[in-house]
């Protein structure tokens, strides 16, 4: 069983340290994982976390229990599940997913309630995955796309959005220009394609807020499909792009 060891402010009990070599990930310059891809190792991660919302991506998987050990049992973990344009702003729909744990290289937002500062944890016997990962959604009716990507190395910030504010209660994504820092490894960024969006707004959905489309619509059934702004976008669920819609008064997800 994989074990997670937290140092400093996140101290907890664990099994005796494995004799296996520990790989230290640099969250500032990034670490070349090419030669470690597919290997099972102990991994040490040093990460600066703000009290509030942060972005997060790791090159290995953690269970819900391990997420709680690393970041506190009251932490929140959400993933991007859809976007919509209200005519002026772009809404990013995030859904609570902590029960699924962290999947390797998947971009997340993490709500941390501990003290702002540098935290270190060691994950034992985890499978390293050197795969760049991102998720992309298209706003209904506009053709604008939003891509959220995990940063494996420092990334040129031009034209990107990220969570940079301290004590960020709203998980607001702000535009990053050349005068700000880049996106360090284990963090994530958002990129827009098309349109002229002035602001990115974040909407937080619980697991109970969204159900699977199969639970609401029978195979081949004709139904009115609306976006989250109440605009009808289709009369069938066939061929819908991935995202969140309203069908029969319920929010449903197309993966």
| 237-251 pLDDT, tens digit each | 887 877 778 887 777
Q: What is the pLDDT of residue 229?
A: 61
Q: Which residues of 215-226 are buried (b: 16+ CB within 10 A; e: fewer)?
A: ebbeeeeebebb
Gap between the Cα atoms of 193 and 212, Å rounded? 28
Gap between the Cα atoms of 164 and 2, Å rounded? 32
What DSSP string runs through 129-168? -----EEEEE-TTT--EEEEEEESB-B--TTEEE---TT-
Q: What is the pLDDT of residue 149?
A: 92
Average pLDDT, the chain: 82
Gap between the Cα atoms of 255 and 243, Å rounded? 7
CB 250 within 8 A of CB 163: no
3-state secondary structure of 11: coil
| 130-159 pLDDT, tens digit each | 987 888 888 877 778 899 998 877 677 777
pTM, to two decimals: 0.79
Q: What is the pLDDT of residue 18?
A: 42
| 194-236 pLDDT, tens digit each | 766 668 889 888 766 677 777 888 877 888 888 766 678 888 8
């Amino acid at each position: 069983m994989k074990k997670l060891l937290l140092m400093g402010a996140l101290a907890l009990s664990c099994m005796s340290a494995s004799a296996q070599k520990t790989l230290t990930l640099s969250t500032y310059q990034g670490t070349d994982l090419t030669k470690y891809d597919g290997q099972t190792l102990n991994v040490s991660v040093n990460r600066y976390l703000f009290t509030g919302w942060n972005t997060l991506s790791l090159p290995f998987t953690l269970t819900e229990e391990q997420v709680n050990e690393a970041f506190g049992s009251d932490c929140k973990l959400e993933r991007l599940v859809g976007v919509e344009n209200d005519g002026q702003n772009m809404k990013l729909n995030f859904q609570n997913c902590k029960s699924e744990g962290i999947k390797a290289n998947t971009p997340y937002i993490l709500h941390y309630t501990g003290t702002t500062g540098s935290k270190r944890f060691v994950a034992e016997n985890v499978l390293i995955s050197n795969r760049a990962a991102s998720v992309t959604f298209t706003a209904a009716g506009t053709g604008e796309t939003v891509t959220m990507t995990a940063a494996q190395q420092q990334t040129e910030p031009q034209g990107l959005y990220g969570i940079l504010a301290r004590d960020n209660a709203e998980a607001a994504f702000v535009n990053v220009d050349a005068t700000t820092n880049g996106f360090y490894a284990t963090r994530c960024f958002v990129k827009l394609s098309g349109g002229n969006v002035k602001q990115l707004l974040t909407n937080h959905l619980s697991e109970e807020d969204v159900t699977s489309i199969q639970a609401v619509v029978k195979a081949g059934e004709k139904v009115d499909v609306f976006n989250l702004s109440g605009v009808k976008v289709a009369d069938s669920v066939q061929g819908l792009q991935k995202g969140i819609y309203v069908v029969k008064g319920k929010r449903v997800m197309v993966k």
